[in-house]
Amino acid sequence: MLNRSSKSKKTIKRKNTYMVKQGDVYLVDCTNTINGMEGVHYVVVISNNEYHRYYNNAKVVPLTSKKLNKLYPHEVLIQSDIRNGLSVTSKAMPDKSATVPMNPHLTGKTKVGHVNEYVLLKLLEANTKTTSR
């Protein structure tokens, strides 16, 4: 006979091993991932770090360097600098935010930098406005 203990086993969700952090800038192939976007684009991770500990995906906002002269109220202008890894000034498009799998789309090889606190707060605020319509 099998000896079964009265203690119930708790299922512990495994923790994610990827090091994606909120505010990181990645180079991602957006084809079939972000609606209306083709090819490789820079994206900013906006989902929080606690979420990344348990799930293998991240919410991202894509960036573009086109049509910078036409900036909508929900879009955020990001100046290029060494910390964020952007070579040209770009604008974030929170209306095109999407959830992408961390692997193979977000890996350590494609991380290019990290946006500053001010830009991250503006992105989170803009994302809230576009998703609450």
- pLDDT tens track for 43-80: 999 999 888 888 888 899 999 999 898 888 889 999 99
Structural domain that includes position 72: 24-131
- Using an 8 Å Cβ cutoff, are 79 and 61 in contact? no
In a domain, 96, yes or no: yes
Q: Flag whether 102 is in a domain.
A: yes
Segments in 6-131 forming alpha helices (H): 49-54, 117-131
- The number of distinct structural domains making up the chain is 1
What single-letter DSSP state applies at residue 9?
Answer: P
Q: What CATH number corresponds to the domain at position 119?
A: 2.30.30.110
What number of CA atoms fall less than 13 Å from residue 123's CA on the CB side? 30
Domain-embedded: residue 15: no
Domain annotation covers residue 50: yes
The answer to whether position 44 is within a domain reads yes
Q: Is the residue at 10 inside a domain?
A: no
Q: What is the pLDDT of residue 116?
A: 93
**pLDDT value of position 92:** 93
Which pLDDT does position 17 carry in this prediction? 54
Instruction: State residue 115's pLDDT score.
Output: 94
**pLDDT for residue 118:** 92
Split the chain (133 residues) into runs of 10 and give each run's mean pLDDT.
51 58 88 77 91 85 90 91 93 89 65 92 85 58
Q: Is 124 exposed, middle or buried (0-12, 13-18, 19+ CB in 10 A)?
A: middle
Residue-level pLDDT at 89: 95
- Please name every residue paired with 60 in a beta bridge, in sequence order, or none if there are none: 45, 98
